[in-house]
Structures are given as C-alpha cells and as structure tokens.
Amino acid sequence: MNEGTHGTSVDRVHGALRENILSGTYAPGSRLILSRLAQEHDVSFIPVREALQRLEAERMVAIEPNRGATVTGISIEDMRDIYETRLVLEDHAIRAAVAGNSPTEMRRSESALRSMRSHFRDGDDPAAYAAHQDFHFSLYEVSGSTWTVHLLRQLWASAERYVRLAAGVRPDPALFVAEHEEILAAVKEGDADAAAARLADNLRTTETLLAATYRSDPDEAPPTAAAEPRG
C-alpha cells in the first residue's frame, strides 16, 4: 500500500468512526474492537489504529493498554469546561480579527452568513451549521495564530458531540442568524469590545440550552447500535 492510499484509508476510517460517535451510533462507554472495525471498513489494523489515535487526540475515545479503545463519556461538567475554554480562546481570536480584518476576509464571512441564513430557511440544518462553523473560522483565521485556530477546531469538534446528542437543542434560526449579523457588524466597525460581547452572548446561550437539556433528563441517551454489546 503506498503512502497516499494509506493516508486516504486513515481519513476514511477516522471520518466514519467520528460520525458514528457524533451521531450516538457508538454510545459513550462502547468498546471499539480493532479486528471488527478493520473487517467492517475492509482495511488492515494499521489505518484503524491511526484513526483511533486521532480520535483519542480529539478526546472522543480513550485508549488503554490491554483493553483497547472506548468511547469517552459525556457530562454537563465536561460540556461546560469545553464552552468556558472556548470563551477564552474565541474572545482572543475575535479581537484579533477586528484588528486584522480586510475586505477580502469580510467577503468570506458575509458569504458564510448568507449560506447559513439560506440553509436555515430551506430547512437544511446540517448545511446551515456547516456554514455557521465556516463563518466563525473565517474570522478566527484572521488572528494569524495557527495554534489558536488548531485548538479551537478541536474544541468545536468536542462541542459538536453535545449538540448532536441533544437533538432537541435548536436555537431559533432567525435569532441565531441575527446574533451572528451583530458579531460581523461589530467586527466591520472595528469595535473589538462589542464583537467579543456579542460572541460571548452567543456561546453562553448555547451552553445554557445544552445544560438545560441534559439536566432535564441526564440518563437519556439516543438510540444506539453499540460497537460491542455492553452488559
């Protein structure tokens, strides 16, 4: 197997496993059996191991000696920790975006915002939230900090797990888009304090919705097809 094919196999297996964790198909606590996954994805053990190592770096699985990989648990405390850390880093990133924005960067942000609005209107939530992520990172990448953007992408990946598992959490689309219009307007006006405040409001609203959902029924879990039966 050449290097390019190997890399493609790892990407494919990683993407499939990650989606199964995000959707709840592999529930928290499920063991991910190397041999079973290799057979399922028609690859050798090596791409599966590397895919699991990526997921471990994203804190979606825990790998223990002589036990293998297990899907990590979820909790309100973990979710709050993710969002509180995001608040710190995203505050820094949005202020840097205000300082370094240009018409070129703003066009990308405006395009993402239009896509978000259009997809919500059409009822295509997955596409709307993809545009939502593109909107935020179109601003954060202006910060020029590779590490800030890298860490934020990891945090967003971890936060997505909570949003996806709490299927009932869905902000009002019109208000959601309006919040982001306010963020962009503040960036364009060069008002770092206002941009950071509007961003913090947006994150706090989502954090509160998620906490309320999990607290109302902390034992609730979506239907799952675990990687290994648990007893």
Cβ atoms of residues 92 and 115 within 8 Å:
no
Give percent above pLDDT 70 in the chain.
87
Residue where one domain finishes, among candidates 71, 88, 109: 71
pTM for the model stands at 0.76
Read off the pLDDT of each residue in 211-227 and give the average, rounded to a whole number. Answer: 53
- The string of pLDDT tens digits covering residues 57-79 is 888 999 988 788 999 988 889 99
- Tell me: pLDDT of 206 over 50: yes
- End residue of a domain, out of 52, 71, 90: 71
Beginning with the edge strand found earlier in the chain, give each strand of the sheet holding 68-71 in spatial order.
31-32, 68-71, 61-64
Tokens coding 227: 């990687």
CATH of residue 172: 1.20.120.530
SS3 (DSSP) at 187: helix
Instruction: Assign 1 a pLDDT band (cuts: 50, 70, 90).
Output: very low
d(CA 173, CA 150): 28
Instruction: Render pLDDT for 77-125 as a digit per residue (tens, 0 to 9).
Output: 999 999 999 999 999 999 999 988 888 888 999 999 999 999 999 988 8
Confidence band (pLDDT; 50, 70, 90) for 6? Answer: low
What is the DSSP secondary structure assignment for residue 67, as one 8-state letter? T
Last residue of a domain, one of 36, 71, 106: 71
- The yes-or-no verdict on residue 5 having pLDDT over 80 is no
Q: In this structure, is residue 230 part of a structural domain?
A: no
Count of CB atoms situated within 10 Å of the CB of 15: 12
Q: What is the span of the domain harbouring residue 87?
A: 76-216
pLDDT at 2 over 60: no
Total number of domains constituting the chain? 2
pLDDT tens, residue by residue, 132-156: 999 999 999 998 889 999 999 989 9
Higher pLDDT, 205 or 14: 14
pLDDT value of position 229: 28
Do 190 and 143 share a domain, yes or no?
yes
